[in-house]
A and B are shown apart, each in its own frame.
Chain A
């Protein structure tokens, strides 16, 4: 009995403590000072029609570089853990996997190119429309997932994947350094002309950086999917 009363009191106390928080929630009437500054300055500063992208790639570019690094670490970890040796499969050939159904095989053949094309569209238009490198990369990885499901026996070329991944990662850091030396700071997109807002070639190096992120994310997620098949050497 005593215990129940104590538990009840504890819950009631917690609720009372959190009450002001609950009452104070709601959508603010106007954006705060920092958000206002972003909204007003982004078009003039970087010429990006999509303010979110200007924030993600430029104002908070360091944060995005960190996210890309986190994804890289995750990929490396998955790749190192899910090998045949660690999974205890050894050199034994896995039993014959059932062939995929014709629905999947036919649809995959038609869709792979279109999906990758859509991914490329998303990351190339990151500074104009919603979306960007991460989203485009995920769409590209979806195309590779379809391919792996349709042809379970196929193997991705790790050489090409790691080449795409490391080259685009290095180029990303290179673009950042170019910003530090040629413009005002690390990852500053104003190393390239800003162009006219809303056209494909605008917003300085933002589209270049987002395309590099898209390629890198696509290659990394494809690598994870391939490792999850569990037949890596």
Chain B
């Protein structure tokens, strides 16, 4: 078996397991038919999509497999951030304070997945929208920009999320 086929097999099997796990999560208490249907569709879909699911050049498993406990903790954390930011944004709007601006900073996260989650978190937080990410450069629209300075913007917008995500996908 060449390294090529081996790597393809690894990608196929991991895609298959994730899909099957999601099926079991959807379908509830499994019976024999349900498992058979899930296995069959997971196999077909894994064969069709494993090339996109795991990138050909993906280097480390630690970039993909999250720390499950911290991931669970991240959900209430980001919910809190969303609520806190909504109140601040509402207050800013009532007070008439706005200073929309596009700011730019670099993230220290290495994993693609963590970067995507960071962008989604920034977008979900009211007041900031992640417009673009190019390698580690982030372009963020900030509703009430306190500063155009990139270090300051990173501290205000992303640093605490980044630190959290960096531990989830180290």
User: Which residues of A pack against B, CB within 8 Å?
Assistant: 101-103, 106-110, 112-114, 116-118, 120-121, 124-125, 147, 199-201
Known contacts A101-B133, A106-B112, A106-B113: does B19 contact A117 (CB below 8 Å)?
A: yes
Q: Identify 30 residue pairs between A and B in the complex whose beta-carbon atoms are under 8 Å apart, listed by A's number.
A: A101-B133, A102-B112, A102-B115, A102-B116, A102-B135, A103-B132, A103-B133, A106-B112, A106-B115, A107-B116, A109-B53, A110-B113, A112-B49, A112-B52, A112-B53, A113-B18, A113-B19, A113-B45, A113-B49, A113-B53, A114-B19, A114-B22, A117-B26, A117-B45, A120-B45, A124-B37, A199-B31, A199-B33, A200-B31, A201-B33
Find residues 57-100 in chain B having any chain A CB closer than 8 Å to their own CB: none
Report if B150 contacts A (CB, 8 A): no
Give 4 nearest A-B pairs by CB, closest first.
A113-B49, A109-B52, A200-B33, A121-B26
A103 touches which one: B27, B49, B53, B116 (CB < 8 A)? B116
Instruction: Name the prevailing secondary structure of the B interface residues.
Output: helix
CB distance from B32 to the nearest CB of A (A): 9
A109 touches which one: B27, B34, B55 (CB < 8 A)? B55
Q: In this complex, what residue of A is CB-closest to B52?
A: A109
How far apart are the CA atoms of A106 and B63 in the complex, in Å?
Answer: 13
Find residues 126-140 in chain B having any chain A CB closer than 8 Å to their own CB: 130, 132-135
How far apart are the CA atoms of A116 and B37 in the complex, in Å?
Answer: 14
Other A-B pairs, 20, CB within 8 Å; known A102-B112, A200-B33, A200-B37: A101-B132, A102-B133, A103-B119, A103-B120, A106-B113, A107-B120, A109-B53, A112-B52, A112-B53, A113-B18, A113-B19, A113-B46, A113-B53, A117-B22, A117-B41, A117-B42, A120-B45, A121-B26, A124-B37, A201-B33
What A residues does B26 contact at CB under 8 A?
117-118, 121
Contact check, B22 vs A118: say whether CB atoms are below 8 A apart: yes
B49 touches which one: A116, A124, A125, A199 (CB < 8 A)? A116
What B residues does A102 contact at CB under 8 A?
112, 115-116, 133-135
Select the residue from A102, A108, A109, A113 with max chain B CB neighbours within 10 A: A113
What B residues does A110 contact at CB under 8 A?
53, 113
Report if B125 contacts A (CB, 8 A): no
CB distance from B27 to the nearest CB of A (A): 6
Known contacts A102-B115, A102-B133: does B34 contact A116 (CB below 8 Å)?
A: no
How far apart are the CA atoms of A101 and B133 in the complex, in Å?
Answer: 6
What B residues does A125 contact at CB under 8 A?
27
How far apart are the CA atoms of A124 and B50 in the complex, in Å?
Answer: 23
CB distance from A137 to the nearest CB of B (A): 15
What B residues does A107 contact at CB under 8 A?
116, 120
How far apart are the CA atoms of A117 and B41 in the complex, in Å?
Answer: 7
Q: In this complex, what residue of A is CB-closest to B49?
A: A113
Select the residue from B49, B112, B133, B134 with max chain A CB neighbours within 10 A: B49
How far apart are the CA atoms of A121 and B28 in the complex, in Å?
Answer: 11
What B residues does A199 contact at CB under 8 A?
31, 33
How far apart are the CA atoms of A30 and B127 in the complex, in Å?
Answer: 49
What A residues does B46 contact at CB under 8 A?
113
Known contacts A103-B130, A113-B46: does B23 contact A121 (CB below 8 Å)?
A: yes
Contact check, B27 vs A121: say whether CB atoms are below 8 A apart: yes
What B residues does A117 contact at CB under 8 A?
19, 22-23, 26, 41-42, 45
What B residues does A121 contact at CB under 8 A?
23, 26-27
